[in-house]
Amino acid sequence: MNIESIAWVFQNPHGVAARTAEDHVALPLLARGRAHGDARCEARERLAAVGLAGRALARFSELSGGEAQRLMLARGLASNPHLLLVDEPTAQLDPVTADTVNTAIHSLADQGAIVVVATHDQRTRDACTSVIRLG
């Protein structure tokens, strides 16, 4: 596999306080030349995939820690990378929301991307096809 694009989702989310969740997710799409309306539409779809459909117009500063973490995952997914590196994607999430996140990550892997996840969450490990234990 030729890895042409890489996305990294950090454990501690960082965003622009005044920008909306939709703005954050649309950014990589716009950077790749997508039309504004198309980028906004796909951003809303990516937000829905991680359980943030109702928060698309919320400013980053208004999001909880778990919401901000899922927002950054949605942005990583929107960049449609060949390799996605994800650090503790379910650390701040309840079990139901964590399952939503695991499903979104798995869907990218099903599309042929390589997804590397660092996690302490047993259910997230169980959702992976290969596991390497460190320590």
Q: What average pLDDT does this structure show over 27-41?
A: 95
pTM here is 0.88
The CATH number assigned to the domain holding 13 equals: 3.40.50.300
Higher pLDDT, 75 or 107: 75
Show the domain range for 76. 6-126
Asked whether residue 70 is domain-assigned, the answer is yes
Helix, strand or coil, per DSSP, at residue 59: strand
Q: Is residue 124 predicted with pLDDT exceeding 80? A: yes
Share of the chain above pLDDT 90, in %: 64
135 belongs to a structural domain: no
Residue 11 resides in a domain: yes
Q: Is 131 among the domain residues? A: no
For residue range 102-123, list pLDDT tens digits in order.
998 888 888 888 889 999 888 8
Residue 132 lies in a domain: no
Quickly count: other Cβ atoms within 10 Å of residue 81's Cβ.
Answer: 20
Q: Would you state the structure tokens that stand for residue 32, as one six-digit string?
A: 């790749």
* Number of independent structural domains in the chain: 1
Pairing verdict, β 6-9 and 83-87: parallel
Residue 38: its H or E element: helix 36-49
Whether 134 maps to a domain, the answer reads no
